[in-house]
Structure 1
Amino acid sequence: MPEKYFEIRWHARAGQGAKSASQFLTEAAEEAGKYSSSFPEYGAERSGAPMKAFNRVADVPIRVKSNVEKPDVVCVIDDTLLKNPEVTDGLSEDKLLLVNTTRSIEEVRKLSNFKGKIGIISATEIALEEIGKGIPNTVMIGALIRATNIVSLDAVKEKIRAAFSKKFSEEIVRANIRALERGYQEVKFSE
Structure 2
Amino acid sequence: MPEKYFEVRWHARAGQGAKSASQFLAEAALDAGKYSTSFPEYGAERSGAPMKAFNRISDIPVRVRSNVEKPDIVLVIDDTLLGNPELTAGLDEDKPLVVNTLMEPSKVRELTGFKGKIAVVPATDIALEEIKRGIPNTVMIGALVKLTEIVPLDSVKEKVTAAFSHKFSDEVVEANMRALERGYQEVKIDG
- Tell me which amino acid in the other structure corresponds to 1:63: R
User: How far off is 1:180 after superposition?
Assistant: 0.2
The SS at the match of 1:19 is: helix
Query: What is the CA-CA distance between 1:94 and the residue it aligns to?
Result: 1.2
* Alignment partner, residue 14 of structure 1: 14
Q: Give the structure 1 partner of residue 105 of structure 2.
A: 105
Partner of 2:89: 89
Task: State the AA in 2 paired with 1:21.
Answer: A
List aligned pairs for 1:116-135, cutoff 5 A. Answer: 116-135=116-135
Partner residue, 1:144: 144
Instruction: Quote the residue 1:27 is aligned against.
Output: 27
Aligned to 1:73: 73
**SS of corresponding position for 2:12:** strand
- The farther-off stretch of 107-116 and 158-167 is 158-167
- Provide the C-alpha distance between the structure 1 equivalents of 2:115 and 2:69, rounded to a whole number of angstroms: 18
Which whole-Å CA distance do the structure 1 matches of 2:20 and 2:165 have between them?
A: 17
Say if 2:47 is the partner of 1:62. Answer: no
1:134 CA drift (Å): 0.1
Counterpart residue type for residue 164 of structure 1: F
TM-score (norm 1): 0.99
Give the superposed CA RMSD.
0.6
Q: Which residue does 2:187 correspond to in 1?
A: 187
Please report how far the alpha carbon of residue 164 of structure 1 lies from its aligned counterpart in structure 2 after TM superposition: 1.2
Gaps of 5+ in 2: none
5+ residue gaps, structure 1, are none
In 2, Cα distance between equivalents of 1:25 and 1:41: 17
Distance in 1 (alpha carbons) for counterparts of 2:170 and 2:132:
15
Runs of 4+ with deviation above 2 angstroms: none
1:141 is displaced (CA, Å) by: 0.1
Aligned length: 191
Query: Percent of counterpart pairs with the same letter?
Result: 74
Q: Give TM-score, length-normalised by structure 2.
A: 0.99
In 1, the alpha carbon distance for the partners of 2:179 and 2:146 equals: 13
TM superposition shift of 1:165: 1.1
- Deviation per CA, 1:97-136, whole angstroms, max 9, x where unpaired? 0000000000000001000001100000000000000000
Q: CA deviation at 1:166?
A: 1.2
Task: Give, as a single letter, the amino acid of the residue that structure 1 aligns with 2:28.
Answer: A
- Output the CA distance in 2 between the equivalents of 1:161 and 1:112: 35
